[in-house]
Structure 1
Amino acid sequence: MTNTLLDITIIIPNYNTRELLKQCLTSIYDYTQGITFEVICIDDNSSDGSADMVAAEFPKVILVRNTSGQLYAKNNNLGMRMSRARYACLLNSDTRLIANAFQSLVEFMDKHPDAAACTPRLLNPDGTTQMCVRRFARMGTLILQGLNWHKLFPNGVVSTNYYASNFDHSREQLIEALGSTAFVIRRTTWEQAGMLDERFPLFQVDLAYCYMLKIKDYKIYYTPCADIIHFGSQSVNQKATASIRMQHQGFIDFSDHYDYFSSNPLTKFLIRQAVRLRYWLKLAEFHLSKDKRVIKGPGRAPITRSS
């Protein structure tokens, strides 16, 4: 049966990013060659005509039309269950290929049989490297992160211990965690270790999955063998306040479900209260700021109030 599998399935969940999705799909078919692949697009009940555009302009794409919002984890898990390939790439719709990235990623995984998963180098639209790698930080670091310590001290402990600001993006290496913008997973990984944790419908699902792989001794690699442009958080920014709430609930769920900081009930209670305080601070910051992005990063254009 293995000989009949395709090389890679590209799974693209989409919610109201019609033009970005079109650009993403166009770049996949323009650049991808030398491998066998399929594209599964799971439209999460968009209202902007995304699904009709895919059906009309990309007939090779396997299109799933959700009649209600299922969110990120369920949509990607559906894609993995549908996959007919040796690898699956969980790809955001707000990405664009600039070269034959998927052939390079398939070749990388073939050469590294110990790799459960990998991620390529992500670029901001201006061509600078996007910080996609994360480290599993301890409680003190995350408290400082919630207080925006990294903005006051860009080279401080939060930047290095959580955002991995000193990470060398020019060399291949093992990593602890990553954002799942372009996350290539080996079939045996999702079949044996499991798929995304659907208790995290949107936020922190990538953190939870990487942590699950870590405690099961699976290896995740970063590789600069391929570059993909990422415009960043285009779906979540559409419902910003709801996204901020879900983002913080994800932190609470991660602490509760994975005993990340402690299994002690009192410690978990204090963490929940701290995260809720952080939520109200972030919500106030959002309403007071002109920049209306939920997730910010260098090279990403701000979303501002309408005049």
Structure 2
Amino acid sequence: MSSQDTVVIPLSVITVTHNHGAYIGRCLTALVPEVTALGGEILVIDNCSEDASAAIARQFPTVQLHLNPERRGFSANNNYGMALAQGRYLLLLNPDTEVLPGALGALIQFMEEHPAVGLCGAQLLFPNGTIQPSPRRFPTLGAAIARRSPLRRLLRQSALNRRHLMQDLDHSQPQPVDWLLGACLFIRQEILHSVGPLDEGVFSLR
């Protein structure tokens, strides 16, 4: 983990790729000018891709590309990236996302205005512009039935599923949430010194 003495830039974006050649070019094309304007850095951790992911990342001279010697899970890859990062804020961003103009600045502004917040997430949108629910409530038995059982297709529009996805709240306004999808996590770096990095015992591949 970077020490406080090495935090010299406002933002570090960490993106983990594994055979994401179809997406990473568009991701970086949108991301590079936004991060450059903020004086930040982009770290791409390639997780043993067998496609052109690494070659595409190399086409962006300002991107720092790190090649894994062996395949690791989501937490281990992002912990590695965060340990290298020098930003005051850290953004864990999926490679199949495209950052909209001004979004990163808005996240920084939100965190500056809310110093008690250690982590937040951006509003995610589907390609057609509709909201992709990214906040979640803690799991319940009802949520498990609605999301993970053979009945999930029948319960997609049920109150159980909607409650789990927090669709009963106004997603146009900031809200306290139980947890967020890992697609876009915006972290105040000093919080890592208090709570530690991601739990590598929870293994999911990226």
Q: Distance between the aligned counterparts of 2:152 and 2:160, measured in 1?
A: 6
**Aligned counterparts of 1:3 and 1:52: Cα–Cα separation in 2:** 29
1:35 corresponds to 2:61: no
CA contact (8 A) 1:34 1:103 kept: no
1:142 and 1:158 in contact (8 A); partners too: no
Instruction: Kindly indicate whether residue 200 of structure 2 is the aligned counterpart of residue 195 of structure 1.
Output: no
Separation in 1, partners of 2:18, 2:147: 29
Residue 14 (structure 2) pairs with residue 11 (structure 1): yes
Which AA in structure 2 matches 1:20?
Y
Distance across 2 between alignment mates of 1:145 and 1:99: 33
Structure 2, unaligned stretches of length 5 or more?
none
Q: Is the CA contact 1:7–1:36 (under 8 Å) kept in the aligned structure 2?
A: yes
Tell me: CA distance 1:118–1:149, structure 2 relative to 1, closer, same or farther (3 Å): same
Give the partner amino acid of 2:144.
L
Q: CA deviation at 1:34?
A: 4.6
What per-residue deviation string (whole Å, max 9, x for no partner) do you get for residues 170-225 of structure 1? Answer: 1112111110111001111112101110011217xxxxxxxxxxxxxxxxxxxxxx
Whole-Å separation in 1 of the counterparts to 2:166 and 2:7:
40
In structure 2, distance between residues paired with 1:31 and 1:144: 38
- Name the structure, 1 or 2, with higher relative contact order (CA <8 Å, separation 6+): 2
TM-score where L is the length of structure 1: 0.62
The within-5 A match list for 1:130-141 is 130-141=132-143
For structure 1, which segment, 165-174 or 182-191, has the greater mean C-alpha deviation from structure 2 after superposition? 165-174
**Partner in structure 1 of residue 126 of structure 2:** 124
The TM-score with structure 2 as length reference comes to: 0.90
Residue 48 (1) aligns with residue 51 (2): yes
Gaps of 5+ in 1: 204-234, 236-307
Q: How does 1:1-307 map to 2 (within 5 A)?
A: 5-32=8-35, 34-55=37-58, 57-202=59-204
Letter in 1 for 2:184: A
Per-residue deviation, residues 82-119 of structure 1 (Å, max 9, x unmatched): 11011100000000022121111111111110101000
Alignment root-mean-square deviation, CA: 2.0
Q: Is the 8 A contact 2:124 2:131 kept in 1?
A: yes
Paired residue total? 203
Q: State how far apart, in whole Å, the 2-side matches of 1:104 and 1:144 are.
A: 34
Displacement after TM superposition at 1:68 (Å): 1.6
Deviation string for 1:216-241 (max 9, x for gaps)? xxxxxxxxxxxxxxxxxxx6xxxxxx
Note the alpha carbon deviations across 1:24-67, whole angstroms, 9 max, x for none.
01101233455221000000010112112222x11111110112
Q: Please state whether the residue corresponding to 1:189 is helix, strand or coil.
A: helix
Letter in 2 for 1:183: L
Closer, same or farther: CA 130–5 of 1 in aligned 2, 3 Å: same
- Measured after TM superposition, the shift of residue 141 of structure 1 is 3.4
1 CA distance for matches of 2:7 and 2:42? 17
- The whole-number CA distance in structure 2 between the counterparts of 1:27 and 1:182 is 15
Pick the structure with greater CA Rg: 1
Query: 1:71 Cα shift?
Result: 2.2
Distance in 2, matches of 1:81 and 1:89, equals 13
C-alpha distance in structure 1 between counterparts of 2:56 and 2:37, whole Å:
27
Identity, % of aligned pairs? 29
